[in-house]
Amino acid sequence: MPLTPEQSAEIEDLRATPRQTLRAVSEGAEKHLYKAHPVLDHGFVRMIDYMGDDAAICQAARVSYGRGTKSVQNDEGLIRYLMRHWHSTPFEMCELKLHVKLPVFVARQWIRHRTANVNEYSARYSILDREFYIPRPEDLAAQSSQNNQGRGDVLGPEESARVLDWLREDAHRAYGHYEQMISDDGQQGLARELARMNLPANIYTQWYWKVDLHNLFHFLRLRADSHAQYEIRVYADAICEMVKDWVPAAYRAFEEYRLGGVTLSASGVECLRRMLAGEEVTQETSGMSAREWREFVGAFVLKDI
Ligand SMILES: Cc1cc2nc3c(=O)[nH]c(=O)nc-3n(C[C@H](O)[C@H](O)[C@H](O)COP(=O)(O)OP(=O)(O)OC[C@H]3O[C@@H](n4cnc5c(N)ncnc54)[C@H](O)[C@@H]3O)c2cc1C
């Protein structure tokens, strides 16, 4: 269960006591504030705070004294221009603070994004909960034969049942030993900072994560992408839903120029020019490696010739 009834009550309490402010308010973000959006079997992501809105991006870009808004249409045009031309600093004026509960192996991927501020639950100070990520059978797949870094076909029912049993058994056995090691019942009890070392990577941790919108878009472009591991992608997808409501114009520009856009190499541009001029270009004549060519063809759903 992502939240206990007490935690849910605390959140309801926070949402029940709004205050007046002179700061920029995003109605879309207000909808999400404090609420936990469940992710995986025990995880969640929830918005703790935000700074700025679409108008704040324009305000910074124009270095204006007032709200920065000319008209909604005008603002959207400016935001699209900024995104299109990688004029990134106005997006850094908006910030998002999240509370995330996630398995440790997902946290290891996430923490590689260095341009955020993080404060993690201390397993030196506190005792970790007995909560492990156990995938759904449909998410258990074999090693991909095409991509060394990914997964391929879903495991058959027998193998998947065996894997799930081992995942559960190993996690609970390790946690049982963890509890026994830290217990001071009839023994000194090992320090928490040491006892945690036998816990599996699918145990859940939690952190507060604060990032500006420019770097958040960078994170989302990499982690909401089909090449990202499913277990981090589902968090990125949940964050996308919040960002869409918080800064709708910026998110639309992000979808248009980053998520849905394609970056072409010089060889790619040249190939496209030759193709548009009627030439039949193949991988051999493209100047691209086989992999690059596959990606190029895939991006435009071109017929591989
Ligand atoms: C599909 C996928 C597979 C991956 N596979 C691997 C893997 O096999 N092994 C592995 O180790 N990692 C892997 N990674 C992690 C990846 O290499 C990056 O570390 C991670 O995506 C964070 O990206 P970033 O550094 O751009 O982000 P951030 O740390 O948020 O940085 C954002 C940008 O700030 C700048 N920046 C930040 N810090 C510095 C700095 N110290 N010096 C210079 N510029 C800086 C860079 O321009 C950077 O792009 C993978 C990531 C993905 C998405």
Sequence-ordered strand ranges (E) for 6-63 = 36-39, 43-51
- Could you tell me whether strands 36-39 and 43-51 are parallel, antiparallel, or unpaired per DSSP bridges? antiparallel
- CA-proximal residue: ligand 1, atom 26 (nearest): 113
SS3 (DSSP) at 22: coil
Among 115, 109, 143, smallest CA distance to 228 is for 109
Ranges 20-29, 78-87, 130-139, 142-151: which has the least confidence: 142-151
The band of 282, judged by pLDDT with boundaries at 50, 70 and 90, is: very high
Question: What is the 173 CA–ligand 1 centroid distance (Å)?
Answer: 35
User: pLDDT at position 68, please?
Assistant: 60
User: pLDDT at position 54, please?
Assistant: 96
Give 91-140 pLDDT, tens digit per residue: 999 999 999 999 999 999 999 999 999 999 998 989 999 999 999 999 99
Give 185-209 pLDDT, tens digit per residue: 999 999 999 999 999 999 999 999 9
| Annotation says 223 is catalytic | yes
Show the ligand 1 pocket: residues with CB < 6 angstroms. 112-115, 215, 218, 222, 227-228
Give 241-270 pLDDT, tens digit per residue: 999 999 999 999 999 999 999 999 999 999
- Greatest mean pLDDT among 20-24, 105-109, 152-156: 105-109
pTM: 0.94
Instruction: Return all residues near 47 (Cβ < 8 A) that are at least 6 apart.
Output: 29, 32, 33, 34, 35, 96, 97, 98, 242, 246
User: What is the rounded CA–CA span in Å between residue 236 and residue 219?
Assistant: 8
User: What is the rounded CA–CA span in Å between residue 179 and residue 190?
Assistant: 10
